[in-house]
Structures are given as C-alpha cells and as structure tokens.
Amino acid sequence: MREEIISCTAEAIFAAPNPCRFVREYCEDALSNSRYFYDLYFCSLKENNLIFGVISALFLLTTFYLLASTSETYLSPALTKISKKLNLSETLAGVTLVAFANGAPDIISSFSAGESAEGVPLIIGSIFGGGLFISTAILAIVILASRFIEGEKYALLRDIGFYLVATIYVMIIGLIGYWSLASAIGFVLLFPCYIITVFVLEKYQSGLPKPALSSSLLADSEAMSAYSEISDPKTGGVKPSIEMNAQFLVEQKTSPPKESLFDLIKARESERKETAMTVDQSLIEPHLGDAQESRETLLGEMNRERRNRCWGCLNTLGKITRAYEAPFHMLRSLTIPAADEEQWSKLFAMIQPFTATWFCLYVTGHLFETYKGFWIGLYLLPVQILISLAIWKFTSDDHIPPLPTVFAIGALCLSIVWIYKAAVLTVEFLEFIGFITQLHPTFLGMSLLAWGNSMGDLFNNRALAKSGHGLMAMTGCFAGAVFNLLVGFGSSILRQVWNSGNHRVNFHIFNFDEKSIAEGGFLSMSVLLLTIINLSITLIYAKFQKFKFSTLYSIYLLVFYGIVLVFATMYSIHLKVNYTV
C-alpha cells in the first residue's frame, strides 16, 4: 500500500481521509525542502483557502520585494564599484556586470527553477513570459509616460534581432524534441556573439558624424531664454516689459491668428519642450553600455532620494511601506557589507563577519551541523574575531575604508546569496501553488513569477520615462529582456542538461499527443510563437514609422498582452479540467 501512495500526487493527498497525516507520513522525502508549505496548508490551516490566499499574497509580495530591492540597493552598487575598479569600459560593464545587476532576480530564479523536474516549463514561462510582459505591458507604460519616443535605430535592431534569433533557436530545438549538450552550449554562445555585436556597432557609430542642433532649435532656445528672463516664477505668468509688447505688436501684424501674449509664449514653450525632448532622446543613449551606466546612475539617485525622505514627509502609504521594509533592511544591513559611502557603518561592519557567515551557513543548510561534537560555527569564530578587530582598528566611523573593493566583493557575494534564497523560496512556493491548483508551471511562470520579477523594471523604467528619459527606459526594456534570455535561460538549460544522466532533456513542444499536451507543450510553443509575432510586428512598425513610437503603439501593446494573458489563462484552466498535469 505504501508503494502505491508514496508518489504524493495531488489526487492522492486530497483523496486521503487525513491529508495532514498523509503528507507527514508518506511525503516527507518526496517534498524535500518545500514540505513546510504543505504542512502549513494541510495541517496548520486545515485547507482554509481564504487565509491561505492572504498568506500567499503577503509571502509572494515579500519574496518579490527581496528579489528586486536586494538587487537594486546592494548588488548594483557593488557591481558598479567593481567595474570601476577593474577599469571596465562603459560598454563592457553595461552588457555584463550592470546588466546582471538589473536581471539578477530573473536569472537566479530561472537558475533555481532548473533544479526541479518541472524546471523547463517554469523557465519558459518565467523568461519568455517575463520578456513578453516587459516588451509589451511595461514598454506601453513607458511610452504612455513619455507620450512619444524616438527609438535608437541600431540598438533596437540589435536587441530585437538577437531576441528573435534566440527565440527561433528554441523553437528549432522544440522541433528536434530535446536539448543536447551541444545545443545548450550553442545557445549559451549567443551571448558572446551579442557582446561582439555591441562592440562592433559601437565602433561603427563612433565613426559616424554626431548630429548637431538645428538652427531652428538654437533660435528657439534663444527665444526661450529670453522668455525665462521675463517669466514670473512666483505666478507662472509673464512680467510686463516694453520689448515684449513691441514683439507682440509686430507678430500681431504679421500673423493672421489673433492670440494673446500669454498663449503665444506658452505655445512656444510647448514646442521647445517637444523639440528638446526629441533631440535629447536621440543623443542621450547611442550605446548600450552608456545607457546601462546612465540608467544605473539615475535610478540610484532616485532611490537614494526616496530612502532618505524624512518620516514626516511620507504619506500614509509611504509610512506603511517604510515600516514594512525596515526589518528586512536591518537584516540585510547586518549581513551584506557596504559597497558605497552611503551604506557604510563601522558598527555593522564589525558585526558582519559573524552574521554574514552564519547566514551563509543557514542558506546552505549547515548552520546547525556539528563536527567532532562541536558546532561548526565554533571553528570559524577565531577568524571572525580577527576580521572584526581589524575593522575596528583600521577603519573610520564616517568613511568607507581605503580598500572598498574588498567590501564590494563581499557585498556582491552576500547579495547573490540573499537573491538566491528569495528566488528558491519563490520557485518552491509557486510549484506548491501549481501542485494544489493543478495550474501548469508555464502559466505560473509567465504570470506570477514573471510579474514579480518584473516589478522592479516596471517602477524603474516608468520613473525614468516620467523624468524625461523615455529612450533610456525603452532601451532598458529590450536590452534587459535579451540579457535575461541569453544568460538566464541559457545557463539554466545548460545546467539541467549537464546534470541529466545522458546529457539530454526532453523538449516536446510540437508533439500534440495527450501526454505532451498534458505536460504543457502547446502552451510553451504558444508563448514562443507569440514572442516571435510581437517582435516581428515591433520591427515592422519601427521600420515604417522611422523608429518613432507613439501612444497608438502603446495601445496595441496593451491589447496584445491582454489577449496573450486571456489565452494562457483559459488554456491553463482547460489543461486542469481535461488533463492530469
């Protein structure tokens, strides 16, 4: 009897007279590290879906917050510091270290998803579903916030081109039916090709003549400087002057429409802003490396301003958010070394040799282990004390030490440990939700996991667009999605193929038999096909509109993503009702 029910399927657990006892007695080994979720739902909550729904929302909110904020607050400054210390060019730093900092939640989540049997469908949903979400919904929000964006031709062609090549590559592997070691390595090699292409385009563009400001724009700027001298900053109106009245009288004689002076100047100001925005966007970001570095600097300033805002300056929601973030900020400050001047605290630095080591032991599962009858942490204590005394003796209370790279490397390592732990918890919890709801991993990956990992991109890119850097935000949407696909998906597939017994992983997305449909092959194929369709439409639109994107295109993007989401939801429900996942 035990051999029949040891499989721990959802049907067996829900059919058991006592699901809690069934889970604890027969599923302990099968569930491994995620058994506490099953114990919580079946034993502590007695399958109360309402309470579990509230706990699930809070849990996912917390893990997604840890993924995004750890990458933004701790990992990005560390990688920026290391890239400057290594004297990396802006381009090399932009397509490697800075890109990794921006895509760390997606990459590490997909990497940890590769450990499970349902890894490939979850990775497909997370990476390609997240890419769809970024290149449609988030890009639409960026365009709406900017109202108009003139894209950079070569950057868009490069990023969309590589995205299409990589997606078609995956489709071809789907036709073959399996990932081999050679095909996985071939996919990973697309990233070095991408880096080479970035350098070649950068060299090509550096040889092109830089665009100069037109005479009309210069004349307009002179006129507006005169306007700024006569405008009243207190009222937003206009100061009366003889020169203005004379100019107005001249223009009234030469211009048929009768406009007031206020309307005339306001119209000129509006034209100046639109023209300056177009010119600024065409010059602000010719290369990916420059874009990533500038993006990182701007976002760092925005987030620093938000964090340093006084308690009384916050609204109710801001105070709730600050109180919610406080314990997690304290825990990370105790375990992650400071990478820049703003984060430096001598007291925390002296404590971190102990807390950071214990946290790493906890994440790796060795915190409570013993060696020859003694706790393993006792053997590390002398080294921890020596490091703490060195920090006390040779560092200042107010300034980061003269060897900040050591602390930056420590911040890099501990940030990755934090992100990895949050990613593992997120993936395990989504797999548990899929287990009890029987929703397919691909759908969960392209919805919950993709949305959570992309929240940072949504808020950051929207903030950039609203601050007048729409082109930078748009480039970040495509470049980030390409990096996540080439590095995140590529490394996850390579790892899974390498760990398989025969260096082969089945990938049947074009088989339409009952088994393949039940495993979600058609849903994975649909996600890939929809990605190709969306990217192709974007290229066609950009070609005919001369790489200018307006609000009309953003409406199409939102409608397209809405159709994709409705289709994926209905098809997942169809799989749940008609097939055993």
CB 450 within 8 Å of CB 269 = no
How many helices (H) does the chain have, and how many strands (E)? 30, 6
Measured CA to CA, the distance from residue 329 to residue 326 in angstroms comes to 5
Measured CA to CA, the distance from residue 324 to residue 51 in angstroms comes to 20
Backbone φ/ψ region at 286: left (φ over 0), alpha (ψ -120 to 50), beta? alpha
Choose among 306, 442, 437, 320: nearest CA to 61.
320
Choose among 227, 195, 209, 273: nearest CA to 479.
195
3-state helix/strand/coil string of 206-222: HCCCCCCCCHHHHHHHH
* Cα-to-chain-centroid distance, residue 490: 17
pLDDT at 119: 56
Strand-pairing partners, residue 179, are 505
pLDDT at 288: 44
- Which residue carries 């964006």 as its tokens? 149
CA separation, residue 48 to residues 19, 56, 57, 419, 444 (Å): 13, 12, 14, 30, 21
Q: Compute φ and ψ for 506, nearest 5 degrees.
A: -65, 140
Q: In the chain, what are the domain boundaries?
A: 1-47, 66-202+418-578
The CATH superfamily of 66-202+418-578 is NCX, central ion-binding region (1.20.1420.30)
Tell me if residue 263 falls in helix, strand or coil: helix
Choose among 457, 485, 546: nearest CA to 139.
457
Measured CA to CA, the distance from residue 384 to residue 350 in angstroms comes to 9
**For residue 203, what are its two tokens?**
């060299």
CA separation, residue 484 to residues 45, 180, 424, 517, 526 (Å): 37, 21, 17, 27, 20
- Type of residue at 11: E
3-state helix/strand/coil string of 276-335: HHHHHHHHHCCCHHHHHHHHHHHHHHHHHHHHCCCHHHCCHHHHHHHHHHHHHHHHHHHH
* Cα-to-chain-centroid distance, residue 393: 40
Query: Cβ neighbours of residue 170 under 8 Å, at least 6 residues apart?
Result: 187, 489, 528
Measured CA to CA, the distance from residue 139 to residue 313 in angstroms comes to 31
Beta strands in 406-519, from DSSP E residues, in sequence order: 504-506
Query: Within the chain, what is the greatest distance between any pair of CA atoms?
Result: 100
Measured CA to CA, the distance from residue 474 to residue 548 in angstroms comes to 12
CB 443 within 8 Å of CB 568 = yes
Measured CA to CA, the distance from residue 216 to residue 356 in angstroms comes to 59
- Which residue carries 């092959």 as its tokens? 521
Angle at 70 between CA 118 and CA 313, to 5 degrees: 135
pLDDT at 350: 92
pLDDT at 336: 92
Choose among 151, 17, 31: nearest CA to 435.
31
- Type of residue at 278: T
Choose among 108, 115, 96: nearest CA to 71.
108
What is the full per-residue pLDDT of the chain (581 aa) written as tens digits? 344 445 677 777 877 888 888 888 777 665 656 678 888 888 888 888 899 999 999 998 898 888 888 888 888 888 878 877 877 766 667 677 767 766 777 777 776 665 555 556 777 777 888 888 888 998 899 889 888 888 888 888 888 999 999 999 998 988 888 889 999 999 999 999 988 888 888 777 776 665 554 444 444 444 444 444 444 444 444 444 444 444 443 444 444 444 444 444 444 445 444 444 444 444 444 444 445 445 555 555 655 565 556 666 777 877 888 888 889 989 999 999 987 777 888 899 999 999 999 999 998 888 888 888 888 889 999 999 999 999 888 888 777 776 667 888 888 889 889 988 888 888 888 878 888 887 877 788 888 888 887 777 777 777 777 777 777 778 778 877 888 888 888 888 888 888 877 888 887 777 666 666 665 677 888 888 999 999 999 999 998 988 888 888 999 999 999 999 998 888 888 777 776 54
- Intra-chain end-to-end CA distance of the chain, in Å: 23
Tell me if residue 83 falls in helix, strand or coil: helix
Beta strands in 439-516, from DSSP E residues, in sequence order: 504-506
Listing DSSP states for 337-351 in one string gives: ---SGGG--HHHHHH
- Type of residue at 564: V
Choose among 325, 330, 336: nearest CA to 61.
325
Q: Report which DSSP code applies to 419.
A: H
**For residue 365, what are its two tokens?**
């599962």
Tabulate helix, strand, coil % of the chain (nearest 5).
80, 5, 20
* Cα-to-chain-centroid distance, residue 231: 43
Would you say the C-alpha torsion 233, 236, 240, 243 has a positive or negative sign?
Answer: positive
Query: Cβ neighbours of residue 493 under 8 Å, at least 6 residues apart?
Result: 114, 120, 123, 179, 184, 187, 505
